[in-house]
Amino acid sequence: MPYLFTSESVSEGHPDKVADQISDAILDEYLRQDPTAKVACETLVTTDFALVAGEIKSTAHVDAEPIIREVIRRIGYNKPEYLFNADTCEVMNRLHEQSADINQGVERAVAEDQGAGDQGMMFGYATKETDNYMPLALDLSHRLLRELSAIRKAGQEMTYLRPDAKSQVTIRYADDNTPEAIETIVVSTQHDEFDASEETMLAQIKEDIINILIPRVKAQLGPEVQQLFTTDIKHHINPTGKFVIGGPHGDSGLTGRKIIVDTYGGKGAHGGGAFSGKDSSKVDRSAAYAARHIAKNLVAAGVADQVLVQVAYAIGVAQPVGVFVTTYGTTKAVGSTGEKLTDGQIAEKVQHLFDLRPYAIVQRLGLQNPIFAESAAYGHMGREAGTKQVQDAQGNTRTVETFTWEKLDYVDKIKAEFGL
């Protein structure tokens, strides 16, 4: 019997995402000046107020206030009527030095022996149902809001848009777990006051979402996904009605409250740790990226149609205490006698191929570079690997790789290991 699965996304102007972007922008500035900086930066935003707090160990000297204001301005909160304004909001900085007790568990005389910054378990997931190996419902939810933001910033159409928005997509799946159709699309967007009645206003927004936004997103997709956009889709556009009051004035925002939006939209699993504001010594972030890197390369290599990887650590210990893999019964790889490999056998091969000590992960994925602000909205996973120019504290410019955990650079090694 067909079943439904739903994922949501939130825009860069959502209060929790404002907080995430501030935390990662501050982290990036520390890493720009000092690649070995240890940073744990939390942000709170509310009506015309932003607070940063947390622990830092670094030789860098960072003035947080202009960074905070620039992030808010870039998102689009730059008008007094938003009651959260980059130029006028109060900013408070409560960053302080990292605990020596924590630091002694992380740093070692030999860099390769660096211990995990905390205990916990981290997950990575990949599926072949999209070109970027992400769950389809989440991928579409992110696309809707990225395009909505592009329309808002272009200022040519839907000129009433404000920064705060949410989306949600429900997919109907067949019994063989393949997508049959898009069942429901939900979009709630903050907007300016309208001169017209609320009924007329909502009708205009719904018409624009259906006739401007959704066709633009559909045009980005391949034919297999385009055919899922049937005339039977249920659209819920601003279903609560008027949405003028939003952003940090409508709801306070905190770093790390959108961990499912940041990862796989409820598919796979999540260990509970947030990403933004944390340097790569925190395995909450670095090991989650490593697990995604492994899962994506396994699926791309043809080991299985979908893969979940779990890695677990003890604080201060370099080697993971456990590595777990499940392929949900979709394994394609076989052993020397022709039988399908078990998930346990796949996990053994993963540990042979990938060094999962924190130091090795950081080096393999280039996680001491200031590359995290780009990840703080519209998902950390499923993004396109690329490059950017970075100027260090001495004024030297260099090129660094972004979203390195999305690279398919282990496919050939995996194929060789698995005999594919």
Q: Per-residue confidence of the chain (420 residues) as pLDDT tens digits?
A: 899 999 999 999 999 999 999 999 999 999 999 999 999 999 999 999 999 999 999 999 999 999 999 999 999 999 999 999 999 999 999 999 866 555 555 665 566 667 787 889 999 999 999 999 999 999 999 999 999 999 999 999 999 999 999 999 999 999 999 999 999 999 999 999 998 899 999 999 999 999 999 999 999 999 999 999 999 999 999 999 999 999 999 999 999 999 999 999 999 999 999 999 999 999 999 999 999 999 999 999 999 999 999 999 999 899 999 999 999 999 998 887 788 999 999 999 999 999 999 999 999 999 999 999 999 999 999 999 999 999 888 888 999 999 999 999 999 999 999 988
Report which secondary-structure segment, H or E, holds 206: helix 198-208
Q: Is 257 annotated as a binding residue?
A: yes
Q: Is 296 annotated as a binding residue?
A: no
Q: Is 258 annotated as a binding residue?
A: yes
* Angstrom distance (rounded) from CA 372 to CA 332: 34
Identify the bridge partners of residue 275 per DSSP, sorted by sequence position.
none
Q: Is 284 annotated as a binding residue?
A: no
Beta strands 3-10 and 38-46 are unpaired
Longest distance between any two alpha carbons in the chain, whole Å = 73
Q: Is 332 annotated as a binding residue?
A: no
Instruction: Measure CA 84 to chain center.
Output: 24
Q: Is 236 annotated as a binding residue?
A: no
Q: Is 376 annotated as a binding residue?
A: no
Amino acid at 330: T
Contact 47, 83 (CB under 8 A): yes
Name which of 28, 8, 21, 54 is nearest 248 in CA terms: 21
Q: Is 234 annotated as a binding residue?
A: no
Q: Is 243 annotated as a binding residue?
A: yes
Q: CB-hemisphere CA count at 13 Å for 184?
A: 14
Q: Which residues of 156-175 are buried (b: 16+ CB within 10 A; e: fewer)?
A: eebebbbbbbbbbbbbbbee
Query: Structural domains in the chain?
Result: 3-10+135-246 (3.30.300.10), 120-127+282-418 (3.30.300.10)
Q: Is 324 annotated as a binding residue?
A: no
Q: Is 413 annotated as a binding residue?
A: no
pTM (predicted TM-score): 0.95
Amino acid at 332: K
Q: Is 339 annotated as a binding residue?
A: no
Beta strands 49-57 and 38-46 are antiparallel
Q: Is 166 annotated as a binding residue?
A: yes
Q: Is 55 annotated as a binding residue?
A: yes
Name which of 5, 4, 295, 265 is nearest 138 in CA terms: 265
Q: Is 293 annotated as a binding residue?
A: no
Q: Is 193 annotated as a binding residue?
A: no
